[in-house]
Amino acid sequence: MADGAIAWSENEIGELTAKVKALKASMSRVIIGQENVIDSLIICLLAGGHALVEGVPGLGKTLLVKSLSQATELDFHRVQFTPDLMPSDIVGTEILEEDHATRKREFRFQQGPVFTQVLLADEINRAPPKTQSALLEAMQERSVTFAGQTHKLPKPFFVLATQNPIEQAGTYPLPEAQLDRFLLRIDVVYPTEEEEIRMVSATTHAGLKDAEPVMDVPTLLRLQQLVRDIEIGDHLLAYATRLVRATRPALTTVPAVKQHIGWGAGPRAGQALVLASKARALMQGRLAVTREDIGEMLLPVLAHRVLRNFEAEADGIAIADILQALRDHIRPD
């Protein structure tokens, strides 16, 4: 373990890793297919980050996050973002109350839906920038400041924000600085034919059952601490840093990046890549990060942090292809 880390007993580590497996199994009984999406959501939760999910309507994004909250016994709120949504609709507002005995009036802060443990921000890009910023500030600071008073958010606090990649009319795309607050971007794709048949069958009978609770809040908080204490060798730390730095056109030696990237990832991406790799290692039952962990987390960590240039967009060059070229070019020592 790293310097200053908690001394973990083998029994406790075994119990915690068993809880992670049980969490995935509980969600998989409700969610048909989408194994990679389930893994990514759990990785994001264990790492203490937030997730940006993209996918067309009807692929079960709401069911995914609802199942996650049920399986972990976390409080869950859903907010549908719309063009008329105000910041106070998210974080809360002050209301004037009168004491009937003394007739004294005073303002009391009424908490908004952000005061929860799992928040689904549905179609976040439909709300105006001021409302988006209010949520993203809460995500970063884990608190809300209103009228000079700071109100702490519950622990853990996990935001899953969705974006529809098809309908862009009337939307307000998230600025890059705000996208950087999301640990991972997760793409929800169409199910296979077999999975879709099972999905249609399950949802047209008696209905889907809720996810079985398998993890409580203290266990989740312990798991998040364990993730931070997972080992990563100096050579892999340097490897993750080189991958991030190689996304910057002015610094890179990767031809695909020089030709197709307009703006690279910042230092926060390196932190996210290491944390996500540690969480993936724990998902795989390991207490040490491998090169494979870093490689597998490269796309979800960097996909929303790296900007293609006009040439890449005009030629239809996917960000996944550029990052794969980066992965092939940059090797660990």
pTM above 0.75, yes or no: yes
Give tens-digit pLDDT for 102-157.
878 887 888 999 999 999 999 888 888 888 888 888 888 899 888 778 889 999 99
Nearest-5° Cα angle at 143, 139 to 50: 20
Reduced to 3 states (helix: H, G, I; strand: E, B; else coil), residue 124 is helix
Of the candidates 328, 236, 324, which has an alpha carbon nearest to the alpha carbon of residue 277? 236
Give tens-digit pLDDT for 189-233.
888 888 888 888 877 776 667 789 999 999 999 999 999 999 899
- Taken in order of first residue, the domains within the chain and their CATH numbers are 1-229 (3.40.50.300), 232-333 (1.10.8.80)
* Residue 270 to residue 244: CA distance in whole angstroms: 6
| Predicted pLDDT of residue 236 | 95
* Residue 257 to residue 265: CA distance in whole angstroms: 12
| Predicted pLDDT of residue 49 | 94
Give tens-digit pLDDT for 30-89.
888 888 999 999 999 999 999 999 877 777 788 888 899 999 999 999 999 989 999 899
Of the candidates 280, 76, 92, 251, which has an alpha carbon nearest to the alpha carbon of residue 158? 76
- The answer on pLDDT for 166 being more than 70 is no
